[in-house]
Chain A
Amino acid sequence: MPDDAAPLLEVTDLSIRFGKAPTNLVDGVSLTLERGETLCIVGESGCGKSLTALALMGLLPMPPARLMSGRAMFEGRDLLHLPIAELKDIRGDRMAMIFQEPMTSLNPAIKVGEQIAEAVRRHRGASHEEARARALEMLMRVRIPAPEKRLDEYPHQMSGGMRQRAMIAMALANDPALLIADEPTTALDVTVQAQVLDLMRNLQAESNAALIMITHDLGVVAEMADKVAVMYAGRIVEAGPVKAIFDDPQHPYTIGLMSSMPDLGPRGGRLVTIPGVVPPADAMPEGCRFASRCPFAGPDCAEAPPLSDFGGGHRVACWRAPLEQAAEPLQTLGGAR
């Protein structure tokens, strides 16, 4: 039996690269997650958020991907070094994943109710009737209107928001302890997004499942997260409790992301941006990977800064943090590069 004092999920030093690429696309990522907790991973596209999630779920084809290092302890087992059969038993049962595009996990040719029932039968050995009853219950729990009727519908007969709910119903059918959601509301209208976020919050409170939610929307983070990991170019550059990240951001990338977002108040001039783009894998800067875009960068940034603890579980990987201490000598460094 797994140790009850241990965190539900503990990822240590996860590094992934593709084929003969010179750099890791996920580089030294460590995370912990307690039961019932929500961790949001935020960052621009291409920062390795999805790769991290897929690796944890055992859904990353290896090869071409290569696991360079790492452990991911989940209920006493290392997800990264588990035989396929054992992974398949855990997936869809103890842990489940939901995607931005529901058709990634829904089969277009099978009725929604049957798909959910099948997930229940496979892992629970339930009878046909029990599984169907469970499917109906799940459709009710995700508040799909007329659930009896929807059981016998195909995914394409549903709206985008409804399909997203059906996928959530399937993911939660076996009461997983861990749910990983990769941009689950990015393709939805704001109104439907608000519904789905409310729903996920409620279901999580009921089941005490832990949630890793991947998003690039800081608004969604502020609403959902207990804690946050900010990823840039494959690395976690800042992590901590959600309040610390929003009210006391330390890393120049986090601050740049926040200032790039238009404020909801009356307009206040030009947006303060992050220059340039995320470097492609074959042009990753040595040392701090944010250096090519960072207005605080100096010669010392050619060496990678460690993820240091700033108290209360707030960790930051930047030589200049806290910035106000660094602001003075910075003048002589002359900004980026």
Chain B
Amino acid sequence: MSRPDIILETRALKRRFVTHKPLFGAPIEVRAVDGIDLSIRRGETFAIVGESGCGKSTLARMLVRLIDPSEGAVIYDNKDISKLGQKEMRALRSDLQFIFQDPFSSLNPRMTVGALIEEPLRAHGIGTREERRVRVADLLSRVGLMPQHADRYPHEFSGGQRQRIGIARALAASPKVLIGDEPVSALDVSIQAQVVNLLEDLKEEFGLTLIIIAHDLAVIRHMADRVGVMYLGELVEVGPVDEIFANPRHPYTEALIAAIPVPRVGARAKGHAVEGDPPNPIAPPPGCRFHPRCPYAEARCRQERPRLAPIAEGESVACHRHEELSLNGLVEGAAGRAPAAEKRFNLYRAARATSEGAKPSDNSPPPFPSNKE
């Protein structure tokens, strides 16, 4: 068994935030990320999923050192980047790029799109001004915009187009790893599909490693090779995407999958929602952190904290009972379409292919308000 080619790794990674400093006594801390060991393979798409507040964004930001870890290490290409100084980190920055969730607030409204995309190039002193101009034009067309869009401002673009601008900007520095924190969550489903396709095309074209945070499990199912499931600052299960959806090994993964609203009438068994809210990371429950909501919890779960341990090649789980439990994956019939729907879908796809041959593809929506071409 040869060790897979690991591009990015974390070791016992932790991050605490002080939320409140009382006059006396210890400050109140939230343990946003609480001991994560993760290995990302070169060229894969790795997805991170979990409920709001479980630490996904904090983890993602530490991976590119937008924030510093409290403890532990982030190892990129055999270097512990969490210990690097500003200067050494600068040299690595271009390798690790970040795409933000909110295309509306992540772009400086006073900069033109061209200047925004050029900025990382300038910062790294790449190329002459003319070379950079050419590169910006090239990047714009790569993400399905037009070179003349370089002179416009972000507010002149729709949400999906702004997300494309963010992606072009991230690509400018020729990254090796692209990390998207909910890169399509704010978008309508039709625009989301365009951006998902774009990300996958670019990954192929540039040989990227993609790390995607998403709460939409269908998007994860579609994009990811492997999935890490987070609960309250910890990874509770890691595995290949097909295994995670067909044979979840952690009760929390099972609960997440059971909650997916399935777009087929009558497909999902109703009334099997996991109880309770995501708990508060300021005072995580003792033992297994999922135990207050876990239908399989027993005495031991309330005291002993299960550790993430390998169960098969590329699969790990943190549950005391994973061997005895037999958990449900995605319901039968959740995928696929009825025959008539399938027929129409094929007609639609064929018509899309024909009209795409005749005119630019979905990657070139017209500029936003004046789209009456």
> A residues touching B (Cβ–Cβ < 8 Å)?
44-45, 159-162, 189-195, 197-198, 201, 216-223, 242-243, 246-250, 252, 255-267, 270-277, 279-280, 282-283, 285, 292, 295-296, 323-324, 327, 330-331, 334-337
Contacts and interface: CB of A to CB of B under 8 A. Distances in A.
Contacts of B272: 194
A264 B278 contact: no
Interface in B246-272: 255-256, 258-268, 270-272
Contacts of B267: 222
Given A194-B273, A273-B190, A219 B262 contact: yes
A197 B261 contact: yes
Contacts of B18: none
Given A271-B222, A327-B347, A335 B354 contact: yes
A217 B218 CA distance: 12
B358 A218 contact: no
A335 B259 contact: no
B190 A248 contact: no
Contacts of A161: 277
Given A191-B256, A272-B349, 8 more contacts: A160-B52, A192-B277, A194-B273, A272-B345, A275-B362, A275-B365, A277-B368, A335-B351
Contact of A277 (B191, B193, B223, B338): B191
A219 B261 contact: yes
Nearest to A159: B277
Interface of B: 51-52, 158, 160-161, 188-194, 196-197, 200, 215, 217-219, 221-223, 242, 245, 255-256, 258-268, 270-275, 277-278, 330, 334-338, 340-341, 343-345, 347-352, 354-356, 358-359, 361-362, 365-366, 368-373
A198 B270 contact: yes
A311 to B, nearest CB: 13
Contacts of B344: 248-250, 255, 323-324
Contacts of B51: 189, 191-192
B265 A242 contact: yes
Given A190-B217, A295-B354, A273 B330 contact: no
B348 A272 contact: yes
A270 B197 CA distance: 6
Contact of B340 (A248, A271, A276): A248
A172 B158 CA distance: 37
Contact of B366 (A198, A248, A262, A276): A276
Given A272-B352, A273-B362, A189 B345 contact: no
Given A198-B271, A323-B344, A277 B262 contact: no
Given A191-B51, A255-B344, A327-B347, A276 B270 contact: no
Given A272-B349, A336-B355, A217 B197 contact: no
Contact of A223 (B217, B222, B262): B262
A265 B329 CA distance: 12
A222 B270 CA distance: 12
Given A242-B265, A267-B222, A276 B371 contact: yes
6 contacts: A246-B265, A258-B341, A259-B349, A262-B218, A264-B221, A280-B371
B158 A255 contact: no
Q: Which of A190, A256, A280, A292 has the most CB of B within 10 A?
A: A190
A263 B219 CA distance: 8
Nearest to B52: A189
B351 A295 contact: yes
A246 B263 contact: yes
B369 A246 contact: no
Contacts of A282: 369
Contacts of A252: 348, 351
A159 to B, nearest CB: 5
A282 B372 CA distance: 9
Given A221-B263, A261-B263, A276-B366, A44 B345 contact: no
Contacts of A193: 259, 261
Given A192-B277, A296-B351, A270 B200 contact: yes
Contact of A190 (B260, B365, B368): B260
A6 to B, nearest CB: 28
A71 B117 CA distance: 51
Contacts of B262: 219, 222-223, 264
Contacts of A279: 371-372
A292 B255 CA distance: 41
B193 A260 contact: yes
A292 B370 CA distance: 13
A-B interface, 3 closest residue pairs, ranked by CB to CB distance from nearest = A265-B335, A219-B261, A335-B355
B368 A194 contact: no
Nearest to B339: A247
A219 B272 CA distance: 16
A45 B351 contact: no
A193 B27 CA distance: 34
A249 B335 contact: no
B369 A283 contact: yes
B264 A246 contact: yes
Contacts of A221: 263
B234 to A, nearest CB: 17
A285 B373 CA distance: 10
Contacts of A296: 351
A216 B188 CA distance: 8
Nearest to B350: A327
Contact of A191 (B242, B255, B347, B348): B255
Nearest to B360: A275
A335 B351 CA distance: 7
Contacts of B191: 44, 277
B181 to A, nearest CB: 16
A247 B189 contact: no
A290 B301 CA distance: 55
Contacts of A327: 347, 350-351
